[in-house]
Amino acid sequence: MIKEIEDAIDKIEIIKSVLDGYRPFSDHVVKQLKDYYRIGLTYSSNAIEGNTLTESETKVVIEDGITIGGKSLREHYEAIGHAKAYDHIYPMIDKPLTEDNILFLHKLFYEQIDPKNAGSYRKKNVIITGTDFLPPDHQKISELMKKHIKNINQKIKNRHPLERASDLHAEFESIHPFIDGNGRIGRLLLSIFTMKNNYSPVIIPPIRRLEYISAMREANKENLAPLRSLIISIVYEEMKSLKRLIENLVK
């Protein structure tokens, strides 16, 4: 583990120890946090994929059902679908993850965009634009996903959970199991894993989009360090934000 990552993890653990002192959170605090992250995760994850809805517009679409002039129907469906998938991640935090969980999240996200392929692995080979990385043959996806699920649920004592979260995210994205929506589902899984270990969700700011894409390209070349550094730095900032939220809510 490089020094920069070690230092960030030490700072995260200090914040986590403070937050652990407030656990278990009250029903009021849990609801407030769920609503808060519902908008933040949906907006940021969609923005990384090119969705042009602002955070305020995302909130209006999701919570009020209002369409935004000049925005495509698909962008609205992406916001609504992501929010639906997000609403179902919390029951998955306290249980081992299954293939059915992941397929269900994809179905919720993608069913208004492409009902035929929603909730099922891709049946064709694909390429990822902007990179020379080739995802595995579609016939290997089921086997690879079973191994991936096993890796997610495996307990490893000598690895920090946030490093593992980053590596598992890279592994999922390299499998690229769906015809579309891999990034959105992969980032939801990333947050599920961090929350399983009592850390914040991972909200990748759109301003760091290029850094994230670059780190993912490096991960596809088996250089996992840039993505680990990025994810841990993002969690550090989000943990600071979570601490402020909690301390305000419990007053």
Q: Is 236 exposed, middle or buried (0-12, 13-18, 19+ CB in 10 A)?
A: buried
How far apart are the C-alpha atoms of 38 and 43, rounded to whole Å?
Answer: 9
207 alpha-carbon distance from chain centroid: 16
Residue 172 pLDDT greater than 70, yes or no: yes
pLDDT greater than 70 at residue 1: no
Q: Report the distance separating Cα 113 and Cα 75, nearest Å.
A: 10
- What is the phi-psi region of residue 176: left when phi exceeds 0, alpha when psi lies from -120 to 50, beta otherwise? left
Q: Which of 81, 174, 179 is nearest to 121 (CA)?
A: 179
pLDDT per residue as tens digits for the range 121-169: 999 999 988 788 999 999 999 999 999 999 999 988 888 999 999 999 9
The CB density around residue 41, as the number of other CB atoms within 10 Å, is 23
Q: What is the pLDDT of residues 186-196, one digit of tens each?
A: 999 999 999 99
* Angle 13-17-20 from CA coordinates, rounded to 5°: 130
Q: Does pLDDT of 5 surpass 90?
A: no
Q: Comparing C-alpha atoms, which of 234, 132, 241 is closest to residue 187?
A: 234
Residue with tokens 């269900």: 104
For range 158-185, the mean pLDDT: 96
| pLDDT tens column, 194-206 | 999 999 999 999 9
Q: Is the pLDDT at 207 greater than 90, yes or no?
A: yes
CA nearest neighbour of 9 among 207, 196, 199 = 199
Distance CA 93, CA 207 (A): 28
Q: Please state the pTM of the whole predicted model.
A: 0.96
CB-based burial of residue 129 (10 Å sphere; 0-12 exposed, 13-18 middle, 19+ buried)? Answer: exposed
CATH code given to domain 3-249 = 1.10.3290.10
